[in-house]
Structure 1
């Protein structure tokens, strides 16, 4: 049995947090994409799941809205569950913190990039909104506010060295993205 309460030194804690964060980011990304895939399966959409996303045929507006919301819902559920477990935990928990950060930054980072570059049409929130006839920017901003609130709450409950943990996680997130993209291009293209 693995002892999760093993006391480690500060540098070991950061290394463990970094490694856990890479794994959490990869898992969060794959669960997000699987959310899309699962909805597609339910709707009977011809699709293919690869490491970097779900490839599918052209969709009707309703199917596009539902398919795009699958990943969002999976990510939101994981973020909320991880946050609730983190808050109810008696002490700082790097495992749970990594999963909250992974699931919130999975939506925050691309959303901020898209808002800055004014290139939002590829975001799930934008696709959902446009498919049901509302402003894509509005739903993107609402999503950004929700995930930012979850992220801020996680920071509050993250224990000591809050800023250092965020920096380590963001670096781990970049490493995870490189791993996913490299494996995806080697295996599927």
Structure 2
């Protein structure tokens, strides 16, 4: 949106809680890696190629307890084909980190129940979940969720598109 074209990125996470411990078994890691990668790629309107993105948990460090560290690097180009590099470090207490999102998702579930809706509620799912049935940009997902809260949402059954793993080699 601001004239930067992302060319490659990575996100490395490590922490000391049970979630990170369980991901030492690489089979458990696969679905999480796919959902995180798809969530990142869904925010781009162009393909950067699967070799140019890496998102996923990287290790378990027991003494970190419930702390999680995330390192993100983004490389791209801006006006005049000038290189741009961004590096970010995030440290959070992992367990309570998503509490606000979970509470908002539960509130939307309550609204859906009160309105007699069942099944996947697309707008809130697209905003609150990493791998929703329909993935919108964050801006569009938020607008659709606010419209749902205000009283809108699908009037009848919807047809979901065929799901594909964006940018992931099988």
Task: Indicate the TM-score class for this superposition, using the shorter chain for normalisation.
Answer: under 0.3
Select the structure that is richer in strand.
2
TM-score of the two chains, using structure 2 as the length reference = 0.27
TM-score of the two chains, using structure 1 as the length reference = 0.25
Select the structure that is richer in helix.
1
